[in-house]
Amino acid sequence: MTSVAKRRCAKRETGRRGSFGPKARKITSRFRPRWGLPFIPHGVLNDELFFSPGVGNEMMFVFAKVQPFLKEIREKTQSPMAFTNLEKAISKSKTGKTRFATILKRVEGMRKSMRAAA
């Protein structure tokens, strides 16, 4: 990458969303299932279908990874509502809570093994 390209990337990265880089924005904004999230707490979309294995796994996996840093992410991105639809959907759904707990255990296990390896 040329120095001009690096400067352009740095400008984009520190734009209106602070230092929350383009890769992170791509990962957190590409979830197609997130479009259905606002419907779950209101009963419009069946939560068992939405939280069935394979549908929202990647989205919940990323959320489990960023959950400990959620306050900081919301401040840095100046997006106080970031991930709120997913939080509400998980908290109001028995299936969502169960699936998220399973994924969260997996993520915590990965963190422990990474710390042990370091």
21-32: burial string, b at 16+ Cβ within 10 Å, e else: eeebeeebeebe
CA 94 vs CA 74, 87, 88: distances in Å: 26, 13, 12
What is the per-residue pLDDT for 3? 52
Which one, of 98, 62, 97, lies nearest residue 82 by Cα? Answer: 62
16-25, 53-62, 82-91, 98-107: least confidently modelled range: 16-25
What is the per-residue pLDDT for 15? 46
What is the per-residue pLDDT for 38? 76
CB 86 within 8 A of CB 59: yes
